[in-house]
Amino acid sequence: MVFEPFEARQLARGFRLVCGVDEAGRGPLAGDVYAAAVILPPIYDLPGLADSKKLTEKKREALYDRIRAQAVASCVAFATIEEIETHNILRAALLAMRRAVEGLALPADFALVDGNQKPPLVIPCQTIIKGDALCASVAAASILAKVERDRAMRALDVQYPGYGFARHKGYGTKAHYEALQTLGPCAAHRPSFLHR
């Protein structure tokens, strides 16, 4: 996949550590919302790098390890169900993004953020609509966030059996709604999402 040179443009402006930022899990009925920040080196070897939504679970898992190994710095963070309920999902997602950027072992000095909303960062940032399909570091962040969230949902499937979290990852599938009718909600569900 050919990405646009968003990182190179900022490096040419004098920034030194440009991170890509994306979130995973805004839509599901259950689980925390995750975000990741990734600073890629100028030259990397990540065949198949793409928007996480366009990759199979197996490909995401393989790329996850390669991204972690090659990134100059990377961090995955999340905002809890309680924070989603308190602030709303958008603000919780932006909070998770901020935590991911602030958690980088090497502090970024510029952020490229998927979408059209800026998280509350102390560094300058640029939003990119469909950034996970256009920008390499944002695509890498989308994979880290998605893989970590999927792993968390598999753990919730063990903790709260019967809902099918390992299969649908908390999204509102027919099977998930049927399980909710039978079992009622559990502590992993987002109450405000169940009454839409």
Instruction: Give per-residue pLDDT as tens, 43-83.
Output: 999 999 999 999 999 999 999 999 999 999 999 999 999 99
What angle, rounded to 10 degrees, do the helices at 136-159 and 57-70 form? 120
35: closest CA among 145, 115, 137? 145
pLDDT at residue number 60: 97
Considering the chain, what is the average pLDDT of its residues? 96
150: closest CA among 51, 66, 30, 67? 30
Q: Which helix (H) or strand (E) holds 175?
A: helix 174-183
Over range 2-25, report the average pLDDT: 97
pLDDT at residue number 2: 86
Q: For residue range 99-113, list pLDDT tens digits in order.
A: 999 999 999 999 999
Over range 29-42, report the average pLDDT: 97
pLDDT at residue number 195: 75
Residues in the chain: 196
Structural domains in the chain, CATH included, are: 6-195 (3.30.420.10)
* Whether pLDDT at 1 is above 90: no
Alpha carbon distance 93, 106 (integer Å): 22
